[in-house]
Amino acid sequence: GVLAGRLACDEATSEALRALDGLGLYAAPLDPGMRGGGRFVFHAAALASALADALRRALPAALLEGLSHVNPVFRCSRFEPDDARFRWHQDTPYSDPARGHVSRYTLLIYLTGGHGDPALELEGGVRLPTIEPFTWVIFEQRLAHEGAPYVDGRKVFLRSDLVYAAPPASLSR
What DSSP string runs through 48-110?
Answer: HHHHHHHHHHHS-HHHHTTEEEE-SEEEEEEE-TTSPPEEEE-PPPPEETTTTEEEEEEEEEE
> Is the confidence at residue 173, as pLDDT, over 80?
no
- What pLDDT is attached to residue 117? 93
Using CA atoms, how far apart are residues 104 and 163, in angstroms rounded to an integer?
Answer: 7
pLDDT tens by residue, 98-131: 899 999 999 999 999 999 999 999 999 999 999 9
pLDDT band at 168 (very low <50, low <70, confident <90, very high): low
- What pLDDT is attached to residue 171? 60
Residues of the chain with pLDDT > 70, as a percent, come to: 97
Is residue 147 within 8 Å of residue 83, measured between CB atoms?
A: no
pLDDT tens by residue, 35-88: 999 999 999 999 999 999 999 999 999 999 999 999 999 999 999 999 999 999
- What pLDDT is attached to residue 68? 96
Helix (H, G, I), strand (E, B) or coil at 129: strand
Cα angle 70, 76, 77; round to 5: 130
Is residue 161 within 8 Å of residue 94, measured between CB atoms?
A: yes
Using CA atoms, how far apart are residues 10 and 172, in angstroms rounded to an integer?
Answer: 42
